[in-house]
Structure 1
Amino acid sequence: MSKVVFITGASSGIGKSIGEFLHQKGYKVYGTSRNPKTVIGSLFPLVALDVRNAESIKSAVNQVIAEAGAIDVLVNNAGVGITGPIEEIPADEIRNNFEVNFIGPIEVMKAVLPQMRAQKSGLIINITSIAGYMGLPYRGVYSASKGALELVSEAIRMEVKGFGINVTTVAPGDFATNIAAGRYHAPLVTGSAYEVPYGNTLKTMNEHVDTGSDPAEMAEAVYAIMQAGKPKVHYRVGAFMQKFSIVLKKILPDKVYEKMLMNHYKL
């Protein structure tokens, strides 16, 4: 029987690319969307799920198990971007970002783990971000939520290994998706102390997404991980310099690395 793959946030972008690729490889794919009825032409079934709502998560997971009889692979992909000066981002937006990017993926893992434990097998792939390895200016909240998911993945990986369940993370760099359109942007405030530097950084970030890599690269990376007998703790996918920036952070003095980032964002 084909393995069952459950992908959150699969109506567009990276999640959709992963779902289509795995569908074409013969996997039984279920994706999720907050509003599946508005999605036209999906190659695989979409189940209603809002990662901020525990009942929504439980209902979606139970539906897939009832229909398919298993969940072999969870791809925790649903996420949302956020930009702005820390000082000017409303607390409610910070909470929402952590609800979607950090607490939501944890709740989805909690919902699928009993089934995987009963199967004595399973693979959880948490989609994080290269931004989660460093505090990026005007993306600090996003960096923090994705970095938190990296760390909690390391912990739960050790907790569930004895049940035959593997957990890993995949950190993408900049990919050409619609994340920039969907992220929360703290408004550029005329006369704000951050008006010019934030405006310049925002322009640079959007250019990086517009010229980013093909999401198909992430789909191929996820497929390769699924074929691995013993997945690594972390994977990174993206342009060479984006991946190399993680290495540089480990070897460069903190202030040198900080200066490099500030030059990159023209600060």
Structure 2
Amino acid sequence: MTVPKVAFVTGASRGIGLSISKMLVGLGYKVYGVSRNPENCIYADKMFHLIECDLTNAKQLDSLLDSIPDKKDISLVVHNAGLAYFSPVEELSSDKIREMVSLHITAPMLLTTKVTRYLKQNQGRIVFIGSVSGKEISPWGNVYASLKAGIHHYARELFAELRKFGVKVHLIIPDITKTDFYNHLNFEPDEDPKSFLLPDQIADVIRDLVVEDRGWVVPEIQISPEIFKLKRKKQS
């Protein structure tokens, strides 16, 4: 019996993270997904194991990998979890800033530190889900965009450091993607299907990286819809 490869995906219960998890299960991976509210996930499979964890909680984060019995077999890590608060800088609360810093910078850095020794042993790979906001000036996205730019640079640093050990590092930079990311924002993707990406399309890009392993690495990919178009939400 073939032992399945083991993957670790944050923000795995919905949106892009769920699409990635389902794709990896389809490839035969055992997927350990992390979610703050796993009970809200609508997907179930014997190869998909959701772990409840608030990645902004230092105590929960420190013990997260201990809940994975075969953590030494992890060969793929996908840092996907995220959220954004957009507002003028003087209106952004301290709690919201801390939450975004913890989720977008602290958590992926600490988890990477803990799991890299296994990835070196297994000749594995790390995938960071960035954002086009980290490459552009984003109105009222001052903190979110800055943090994404920071994790972009971290991914590039890791690519240079870990390639000598056979660990592949990829930075995926999606543009507007139709998920519930926009639920609490005052703008959202337009109805035009050419103006947004779908989570499954992001998962398809990662599938190609994982399956088509030809001995060379694509360190960074930006994915954009054909048309740029956003709309403001109607005020209720």
Matched, 1:63 2:45: no
Which portions of structure 1, spanning 4 or more consecutive aligned residues, are displaced by more than 4 angstroms? 208-211
Which of the numbers 108, 111, 120 marks the counterpart of 2:111? 108
Equivalent residue, structure 2, for 1:50: 54
The count of aligned residue pairs is 223
SS at match of 2:137: coil
In the alignment, structure 2 segments of 5+ residues that lack a partner are none
| Residue 225 (structure 2) aligns with | 239
1:172 Cα deviation from its structure 2 partner: 0.9
Out of 18, 24, 27, the position equivalent to 1:25 is: 27
After TM superposition, the score normalised by the length of structure 1 is 0.75
List runs of 5+ in structure 1 lacking aligned partners: 186-201, 243-263
Q: Residue 72 of structure 2 contacts residue 118 of structure 2 at CA under 8 Å; is this kept in 1?
A: no
Amino acid at match of 1:151: H
Deviation at 1:91, TM superposition (A): 2.9
Equivalent residue in structure 2 for 1:206, among 188, 191, 196: 188
Distance in 2 (alpha carbons) for counterparts of 1:235 and 1:207: 21
Distance in 1 separating the partners of 2:136 and 2:231: 14
Shift of 1:162: 2.2
Cα shift at 1:61: 1.8
- Which of 72, 78, 82 is residue 81 of structure 2 equivalent to? 78
What letter is aligned with 2:98? R
The Cα shift of 1:145 comes to 0.9
8 Å contact kept, 2:127–2:169:
yes
Q: TM-score, normalised by structure 2?
A: 0.85
Shift of 1:226: 1.4
Seq. identity, %:
28
Matched, 1:88 2:101: no
Select the structure of larger CA radius of gyration: 1
Q: Is 133-142 or 35-44 further displaced after alignment? A: 35-44
Q: Work out the CA distance in 2 between the residues paired with 1:9 and 1:210.
A: 27
Residue 157 of structure 2 is matched in structure 1 by 155
Report the CA distance between 1:24 and its aligned residue. Answer: 1.6
Q: Larger helix proportion, structure 1 or 2?
A: 1
Shift of 1:160: 2.0
In structure 2, distance between residues paired with 1:140 and 1:208: 23
Deviations for 1:6-39, whole angstroms, at most 9, x for unmatched residues? 1000010000011111112222111111232443
Q: How far is the alpha carbon of 1:137 from its aligned partner?
A: 0.6
Q: 1:206 is paired with a residue of what secondary structure?
A: strand
Conserved 8 A contact 1:176-1:209? no
How many angstroms does 1:209 deviate by? 8.8
What secondary structure is seen at the aligned counterpart in 2 of 1:158? Answer: helix
Q: Are the structure 2 counterparts of residues 207 and 38 from structure 1 closer, same or farther at C-alpha, using a change threshold of 3 Å? A: closer
Are the counterparts in 1 of residues 15 and 180 from structure 2 also a CA contact under 8 Å? yes
Counterpart Cα distance in 1 of 2:82 and 2:22: 19
What is the identity, as a one-letter code, of the residue corresponding to 2:89? I
Deviations 1:192-231 (A, max 9, x none): xxxxxxxxxx3xx324499632211011011111133332
Is the Cα contact below 8 Å between 1:217 and 1:237 reproduced in 2? Answer: no
Alignment check: 8 A CA contact 2:11 2:33 kept: yes
Shift of 1:120: 4.7
Query: Once the 2 structures are TM-superposed, how far is the Cα of residue 67 of structure 1 from its aligned partner?
Result: 3.5
Aligned-partner Cα distance in 2 for 1:146–1:45: 27
More strand by share: 2
Deviation, 1:45, is 1.0
Are 1:215 and 2:196 an aligned pair? no
SS at match of 2:21: helix
Q: C-alpha displacement at 1:80, in angstroms? A: 0.7
Q: Distance in 1 between matches of 2:44 and 2:52?
A: 14
Spell out, residue by residue over 1:74-98, the C-alpha distance to the aligned partner (whole angstroms, 9 max, x if none).
0000111111112221233122211
